[in-house]
Amino acid sequence: MIVPYVSSLSEDAMKAVPVHIREGSYAMGATRLQTALRVLMPAAFSGIASAYVLGFSRAVGETMVVAVAAGTQPNLTLNPMEGAATITAYIVQVSLGDLPHGSVAYQSIFAAGLTLMAMTLVFNIGGYLLRKRFREIY
């Protein structure tokens, strides 16, 4: 679900590189592959890096898709072939039942949501700083 998002943003970043830079590479005798790898990728690096950061932030924030895809079993394993529980799956699993106001489970789902929000904020700030550092002005 995240791959089309990242690829679309990366494509837009590469198309945003001015044409005269591409044409200059071709004029120097570079092939299309050399132009893409040695000219377009470095010039569009800030946009590509931002696309990956935004895609990862979106993946962290997804709730129902992750809960259905990963399963709601509270397993922690390094094997990607087994089901695992994510923070969002935990929120879904705990909030399905009746939760009394003020209980530990009730407060824990808000703490989990706050953790997700903080992670997304950190990734977005990191993406902004990365984009700001590698941005090239033409």
Percent of the chain with pLDDT over 90: 15
Does domain 3-134 sit in CATH 1.10.3720.10? yes
Position 84 scores a pLDDT of 65
Say which DSSP state 62 is in. Answer: -
Confidence at 83, pLDDT banded by 50, 70, 90: low
Assess whether pLDDT exceeds 70 at residue 138.
no
Q: In angstroms, rounded to a whole number, what is the distance separating the alpha carbons of residues 101 and 43? A: 53
Tell me the pTM: 0.57
Position 137 scores a pLDDT of 57
Q: What angle do CA 67, 71, 73 make, to 5 degrees?
A: 115
- Sign of the CA dihedral 54, 60, 63, 65? positive
Confidence at 69, pLDDT banded by 50, 70, 90: low
Assess whether pLDDT exceeds 60 at residue 73.
no
